[in-house]
């Protein structure tokens, strides 16, 4: 999978930018605020219909403009080309097109042009709340399986309905009556999602542990996920037991929407004890695992987008990670594209991060977001 060209109009700080990419490696360099990360953000938005930096698309509109427009030309390993465009105005009117045909739902993009982003913007996966990790894994598994995505959407629909009942101003008797109707489908849909999630999660964690060992057999990293309920009758029993709590809190306190994955470094929770460098290494290995996982499950090699990789990492660790990523890409046997941003092109050149530095495609961004 690769992107050949990206066009951006009034996107973040880019007034009008058109940029070509090498099918192998492209380096985008410039000082902070020049719009490097925005290029990766645009590619991600075209792949999945949303930014990895913000949930508010109005943030993407350049100051002083009333809309943004981005378009990317993609090609997969079978030489199947597709063009995706995304636009939105200041009023929130959004349009997504694939080959000039409007699509109504963001999910229609899933699996078409896969990307993996390694960015400081995603440090919430190891540092943040359980919501970051659930969203992270749900997105990966939804790309791999339309069945998983359908199960997730159905569960989200039923929990939204159940929470609506808990929050409404009707009498306790009326709420209890409605909950009796909705609790069973809620549990059926929740258990269906749980079972699918467990299968994918076990597969991902097994691959992650192998990736860690291949990178450095002396590293003691782990990820743990436990399925809390395995039978519908047990789920229903737990929901009924928690009903008074749910009525008091006005939301559903138990279910797949409360799942978490525990990340461990030397048997300690990295969220509580990890250094900046350890968080970055852990996140990098998660992202490399994601790259391999998506390649295996979808039979499409993702585009690897690496943002400011060298921050909070010493020279030797940076070199080791880059060498490992290159090895993984070669082992994959499919042509693979990587786009890297950096503020320090001199550091990359002088420390020999890439042997063929002079032959690599490079773009220099200046403050107004132009090359």
- SS3 label, residue 290: helix
DSSP 164-188: HHHHS-S-HHHHHHHHHHHHHHHHH
Closest CA to 340 of 301, 307, 311: 307
Taking the C-alpha atoms of residue 285 and residue 207, their distance in angstroms, rounded to an integer, is: 10
Domains of the chain: 1-113+344-371 (3.40.50.300), 115-299 (1.20.1050.90)
Dump pLDDT digits (tens) for 269-322: 999 999 988 999 999 999 999 999 999 999 889 999 999 876 767 778 888 888
Q: Return the residue matching tokens 């002088």.
A: 350
Taking the C-alpha atoms of residue 280 and residue 47, their distance in angstroms, rounded to an integer, is: 24
53, 256, 277, 279, 310 from 313: Cα distances, Å: 22, 35, 6, 10, 5
> In which element (H, E) is residue 342 found?
strand 338-342
Closest CA to 220 of 262, 275, 282, 276: 282
Residue 158: pLDDT over 80: yes
Taking the C-alpha atoms of residue 139 and residue 123, their distance in angstroms, rounded to an integer, is: 16
Residue 371: pLDDT over 60: no
Dump pLDDT digits (tens) for 6-16: 999 999 999 99
Taking the C-alpha atoms of residue 121 and residue 28, their distance in angstroms, rounded to an integer, is: 17
156: left (phi over 0), alpha (psi -120 to 50) or beta: alpha
How many residues would you count in the chain?
371
Dump pLDDT digits (tens) for 119-143: 988 999 999 999 999 999 999 999 9
Beta-strand pair 268-269/25-29? unpaired
* Stated pTM of the model: 0.90
Q: HEC string of 252-291?
A: CCCCHHHCCCEEEECCEEHHHHCCHHHHHHHHHHHHHHHH
Taking the C-alpha atoms of residue 366 and residue 371, their distance in angstroms, rounded to an integer, is: 7
pLDDT band for position 78 (50/70/90)? Answer: low
- SS3 label, residue 309: coil
Beta-strand pair 303-307/115-118? parallel
Which sign does the torsion angle of CA 44, 131, 256, 230 carry? positive
Query: Is pLDDT larger for residue 151 or for residue 331?
Result: 151
Q: Give the per-residue pLDDT at 350.
A: 63
């Amino acid at each position: 999978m690769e992107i050949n060209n990206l066009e951006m109009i009034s996107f973040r700080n880019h007034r009008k930018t058109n940029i070509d990419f090498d099918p192998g490696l492209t380096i985008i360099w410039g000082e902070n605020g020049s719009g490097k990360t925005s290029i990766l953000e645009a590619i991600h938005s075209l792949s999945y219909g949303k930014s990895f930096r913000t949930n508010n698309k109005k943030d993407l509109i350049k100051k002083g403009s009333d809309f943004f427009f981005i378009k990317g030309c993609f090609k997969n390993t079978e030489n199947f080309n597709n063009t995706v465009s995304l636009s939105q105005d200041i009023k929130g009117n959004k349009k997504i097109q694939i080959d000039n045909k409007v699509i109504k739902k963001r999910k229609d993009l899933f699996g078409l042009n896969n990307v993996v982003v390694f960015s400081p913007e995603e440090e919430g996966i190891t540092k943040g709340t359980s919501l970051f990790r659930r969203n992270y894994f749900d997105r990966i598994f939804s790309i791999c399986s339309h069945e998983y995505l359908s199960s997730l959407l159905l569960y989200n629909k039923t929990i939204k309905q159940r929470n609506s009942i808990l929050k409404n101003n009707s009498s306790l008797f009326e709420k209890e009556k409605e909950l009796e109707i909705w609790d069973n489908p809620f549990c059926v849909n929740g258990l269906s999602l749980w079972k699918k999630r467990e299968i994918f999660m076990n597969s991902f964690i097994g691959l992650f542990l192998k990736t860690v060992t291949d990178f450095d057999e002396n590293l003691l990293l782990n990820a743990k996920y436990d399925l809390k309920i395995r039978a519908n009758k047990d789920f229903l029993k737990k929901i009924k037991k928690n009903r008074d709590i749910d009525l008091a809190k006005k939301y559903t306190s138990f279910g797949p929407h409360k799942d978490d994955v525990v990340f461990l470094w030397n048997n300690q929770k990295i969220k509580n004890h990890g250094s900046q460098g350890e968080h970055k290494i852990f996140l990098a290995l998660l992202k490399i695992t994601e790259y391999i996982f998506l390649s295996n499950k979808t039979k499409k090699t993702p585009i690897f987008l690496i943002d400011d990789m060298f921050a909070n990492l010493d020279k030797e660790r940076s070199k080791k990670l880059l060498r490992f990523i290159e090895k993984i890409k070669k082992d994959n046997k499919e042509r693979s594209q990587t786009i890297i941003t950096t503020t320090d092109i001199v550091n990359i050149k002088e420390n020999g991060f890439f042997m063929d530095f002079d032959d690599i495609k490079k773009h220099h961004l200046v403050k107004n977001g132009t090359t």
